[in-house]
A = this chain, B = another copy of it.
Amino acid sequence: MNPSLARRLAAEGVGTALLLATVIGSGIMGERLSGGNVAIALLANAVATGCGLAVLVAIFAPVSGAHFNPLVSIALASRGRMQWREAFAFVLVQFLAAVCGVIAAHLMFGEPMLSWGSKARAGPAQAWSEFVATFGLLVVVWACIERKLSAAPALIGAYICAAYWFTSSTSFANPAVAVARCLSDTFAGIRPADVPAFAAAQSLGAAAATIFSAWLWLPFRNPG
């Protein structure tokens, strides 16, 4: 039960593409139907993303681990849980698949295949939001890995559903997602100019969570 690298990359690719199709597609649907009430649009967007992400993690985790996020692959490699060479392949596929997912969503709603995002998401409050969101996500991911939690898919989906609401940035928490969403001039879009700060804040949050988790779970790995 050691799937080939091709199968693992396919799982990462199909999973990441369907994740972005869910994020972008449910955002468009929410905006079109909600008659200007942004809270209803975001509620639909958050519920759809949380449900979709949980499902994708559940079905693809046995093949590839279901990272769908460059920071997860890099965090695992940094702690020796994954070879760096494979992590780079994962990251490359995640970025490409995320863009494919955006295209798939745009075609489902009759939008142009790709378009530059125009929604401003900038400033220290948003950067701090992305730091907190990604710190929390990686704390959850590391707990799932260290304790081999069978509820991991539901936990990751529920976390993102909550994080859409408790951050002013709506919690991208994923550089591949941020880059892909800057190619969509829709509800879930972001200006390209705002992506670097998001990615930097996300990387710092992931690093902090990885250091904290390494310390927290140390006695569980070496009991006695």
Binding site for B on A (CB under 8 A): 1-4, 7, 10-11, 14, 18, 21-22, 24-26, 29-30, 33-52, 54-55, 58-60, 62-63, 104-105, 107-110, 123-125, 128-129, 132, 136, 139-140, 143-144, 147, 149, 151, 153-155, 157-159, 161-169, 212, 215-216, 219-220, 223
Contacts and interface: CB of A to CB of B under 8 A. Distances in A.
A51 B50 contact: yes
B37 A136 contact: no
Copies of this chain present in the complex amount to 4
Interface of A, helix, strand, loop or mixed by DSSP: helix
A132 B149 contact: no
Nearest to A20: B166
Nearest to A222: B1
Contacts of A36: 35
A76 to B, nearest CB: 17
